[in-house]
């Protein structure tokens, strides 16, 4: 019996492109989610300047996205670019989960 291997993570460059597309099409929630995933991927890769930059972008877009109802903050994706997404996605979650990247 063969072991099932996890699929390789998509290249960070692909995620950057998707993030830029969401910004271009003014989907602030999706832009926030892609920036969040990028912050984590860059942090995992040891690229802390890029990680901090995308953490700030994630927070910026999360603060602008609607968050009045449960539907507003329910994340419709389980993962983005291999990064598990929180079930509820809003600025408070971004601040909490990426707090180490905001400390200067």
Q: Are strands 79-80 and 83-84 parallel, antiparallel or unpaired?
A: antiparallel
Name the residue with tokens 């200067």.
104
Structural domain span for residue 49: 12-101
30 pLDDT tier (thresholds 50, 70, 90): very high
What pLDDT does 6 receive? 64
Stated pTM of the model: 0.91
Q: CA 49, CA 67: separation in Å to the nearest integer? A: 28
Say which residues have a Cβ less than 8 Å from residue 41's Cβ, sequence separation at least 6: 9, 12, 15, 81, 82, 83
Q: What is the pLDDT of residues 55-92, one digit of tens each?
A: 999 999 999 999 999 999 999 899 999 999 999 999 99
Note whether residue 74 is domain-resident: yes
Say what the alpha-carbon torsion angle 6, 34, 20, 60 is, to the nearest 10 degrees.
Answer: -160
Task: Decide: residue 68, CB within 10 A, 0-12 exposed, 13-18 middle, 19+ buried.
Answer: exposed
Query: Per the structure, how many domains does the chain have?
Result: 1
């Amino acid at each position: 019996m063969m072991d099932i291997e996890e699929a390789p993570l998509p290249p960070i460059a692909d995620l950057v492109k998707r993030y830029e597309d969401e910004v271009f099409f003014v989907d602030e929630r999706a832009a926030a989610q892609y920036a969040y995933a990028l912050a984590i991927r860059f942090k995992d890769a040891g690229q802390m300047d890029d990680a901090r930059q995308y953490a700030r972008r994630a927070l910026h877009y999360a603060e602008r996205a609607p968050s009045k109802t449960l539907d507003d903050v329910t994340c419709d994706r389980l993962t983005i670019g291999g990064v598990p997404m929180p079930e509820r996605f809003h600025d408070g979650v971004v601040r909490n989960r990426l707090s180490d990247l905001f400390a200067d």
